[in-house]
Amino acid sequence: MKDMQTVIMQLIINSGDARSSAMGAIDSAKAGSIPKARKQLKKAADALTKAHQSQTKIIQEEAKGNIKSVSILLAHAQDHLMNAITVIDMARDFVDLYELLYEKTATKRTPRRKRQPQSALQGTKKRTTAVQKT
């Protein structure tokens, strides 16, 4: 097995990549590019899987008794992982919301039929007043 610090660094790197891709997905969705956002969410999920694989290696080593204490680096790595998980979950919701928003506003912007301008009096009865001459 690779040395533990290398595995911990892989956890940090992949967690950071996952978070960055999730934030990119939010930016893409905000700009109206939902397909691009979905691809970025997939990229985030793939990076998260790699991060979880590193975490699993660390847990297995601890279960074997090979890890005697928790280092600041390991705590930092776990913090990155939890942050990535949270941002990915939120990014999925944001992308869904932006998609819904753009679908709703797109239907409102599409004209159903071309309307002719109406005058202020159209559709009302004309009233005439008798003018009396004195």
Asked about 76 being catalytic, the answer comes back as: yes
> What is the SS3 string spanning the chain?
CCCHHHHHHHHHHHHHHHHHHHHHHHHHHHCCCHHHHHHHHHHHHHHHHHHHHHHHHHHHHHHCCCCCCCCHHHHHHHHHHHHHHHHHHHHHHHHHHHHHHHHHHHHHHCCCCCCCCCCCCCCCCCCCCCCCCC
What is the Cα–Cα distance from 58 to 80, expressed in whole angstroms?
A: 15
Q: Which of 50, 76, 83, 85 is catalytic?
A: 76
Catalytic residues: 76
